[in-house]
Amino acid sequence: MSPNIRLYLAVDQGGHGSRASLFDANGTLLNRASIPIRTQYPAPEHIEHDPEELVASVQTAIAEVLRSAASLPVAAAGLATQRSSVVCWDKISGAALSPILSWQDRRTAEWMRQFQNHSTDILQRTGLPLSPHYGAGKLRWCLDHLPAVQNAWRERRLACGPLASYLAYRLTAERTLSADPANASRTLLWNLDSGDWDPKLADLFGVPIDALPPSVATRHAWGHLNAGKQGIPLTVVTGDQSAALFAAGEPAAGGVMINLGTGAFLQQALPRRPPPSRLLASLAYQDQARRIYALEGTVNGAGSALAWIASQIGMEETAIIRRLPDWLKEITGPPLFLNGVSGLGTPYLTPLFASRFVGDGSPAEKCVAVIESIVFLLQANLEEMARTIGPATRLIVSGGLSQLDGLCQHIADLSGLPLLRPSDHEASVLGLMRLLIGAAQATFVEPEGISFDPRPNPNLAVRYQNWRKELDVALAKPA
């Protein structure tokens, strides 16, 4: 490598692992490293990660990817994380005082019901519905149940908030204590209009506002990552899905990004806050000059739903994924699957919905039904998105599950929209890279990839209508 080359480091901390990618100034990938992490399930609806294991995984991924850079300096680094995951830590020592409570965690579902009368005000302030998936209830749970958190608050040593803030604090030499808008806005404690923590909401949920990291912009002087002999300026911190919006440059009007990972997330970028709906309004990016909002839908059970069915039928998930391409071609009449894995996301917003099959089937047919349920939930969100801001014109998919051709074709067929799967499906990493090198403000660049044009599929359309009827009946029954 030339000694004059400028390198950029993108770090993506996700539900299955921590990844670090090294790019040059042209956006060319030079090296990539990935370190897996464990997910813990200590009780029903409790989903956690070990904080020290997660920090170590990020540090190891960074160290591995930088070995290829030798002594060349890295101009800047960016960090993207799971947005609704939260943690408590000691702002003096940096030690974690709680597990990392995953975005999938729903331990406070019953506790959150007491705030139902405030749901309209919460939606207006945050752009989010009242939900246990977001951070406020989880942080309150830590304050109520963990003595270490209680002691730290009494001694004014407590810091709590988004996973991104904790990682920035632990990874920077300066121990930077800040919160970016994409991650802060997934706590139910952050005001979407003022761009800061909301005192009324902090008081409502009983979360001490003084323990929350100060709000800053997406692009900010976050300090320097400790990486070997060099300190790398950390200049961008955001959410994984927010970064994905920028994978092909400035988001194009009418385009919907769909990221198919542990969950599936649909986003359409907007220059202003979207109107109220049964979807989510979020702030995807902010700097000194502008804000970019997103109208967003969530399917909580995507990759996690495949893991669920694997455990149900006693088959390895990797074996299911290998067989699915053939099963999706061969099986046309599987049972219907009402997918409540990790709770029903938008537009239904039912956190404690029990997953169930309507009809019986073989293990293969049940696996196809799970895939179809993801397609059906995506379609329900696309229809709600069209009612809110008008119909989309195209879809761009990313994430591990997007490698299933049958899944992509089903999405295109049912939506009636052309779908593009870029060759590089790591949208969060690509978007973070573009934000780092300033290419996100460039005109939309059509990525190379495979296109799926919609085809007539009356059987799938009928099955979708039957699925919606069955889901409506299930939702109408008392919990």
Helix intervals (H) in 331-426: 363-389, 405-415
Q: What mean pLDDT is predicted for residues 215-222?
A: 96
Structural tokens at position 172: 């920077």
Residue 250 CA to residue 244 CA, distance in Å, equals 11
pLDDT recorded at residue 266 = 96
pLDDT tens-digit map of 284-304: 999 888 899 999 999 999 999
Are 76 and 232 contacting, i.e. CB atoms less than 8 angstroms apart? yes
pLDDT tens-digit map of 353-401: 999 999 999 999 999 999 999 999 999 999 999 999 999 999 999 999 9
Residue 244 CA to residue 284 CA, distance in Å, equals 10
pLDDT recorded at residue 27 = 87
Average pLDDT over the chain, rounded to whole? 93
Q: How many CA atoms lie within 13 A of 98 on its CB side?
A: 33
Q: What mean pLDDT is predicted for residues 168-197?
A: 96
Please determine, looking at this structure, whether the domain spanning 247-479 carries the CATH number 3.30.420.40: yes
Give the residue extent of every domain in the chain.
7-238, 247-479
**This prediction's pTM:** 0.89
DSSP 309-320: HHHHHT--HHHH
Class of residue 148 by CB neighbours under 10 A (exposed 0-12, middle 13-18, buried 19+): middle
pLDDT above 70: residue 70: no
pLDDT tier at 424 (50, 70, 90 boundaries)? confident
Dihedral, CA of residue 372, residue 378, residue 380 and residue 384, to nearest 10: -170
pLDDT tier at 442 (50, 70, 90 boundaries)? low
Q: What mean pLDDT is predicted for residues 428-444?
A: 81
Superfamily of domain 7-238 in the CATH hierarchy: ATPase, nucleotide binding domain (3.30.420.40)
Cβ atoms within 10 Å, residue 337:
29
Q: What mean pLDDT is predicted for residues 7-12?
A: 95
Q: What mean pLDDT is predicted for residues 195-204?
A: 98
pLDDT above 80: residue 409: yes
H/E element, 467: helix 458-476
pLDDT tens-digit map of 36-61: 999 999 999 999 999 999 999 999 99
pLDDT recorded at residue 439 = 66
pLDDT recorded at residue 425 = 77
pLDDT above 60: residue 252: yes
Do β-strands 74-81 and 7-13 pair in parallel, antiparallel, or remain unpaired? parallel
Q: What is the DSSP letter of 214?
A: P
Would the CATH topology of 7-238 be identical to that of 247-479?
yes
Strands of 44-103, DSSP E: 46-49, 74-81, 86-90, 100-101
DSSP 153-194: HHTT-EEEEEHHHHHHHHHBTT----B-HHHHTTSS-EETTT
> 463 φ, ψ to 5°?
-65, -35
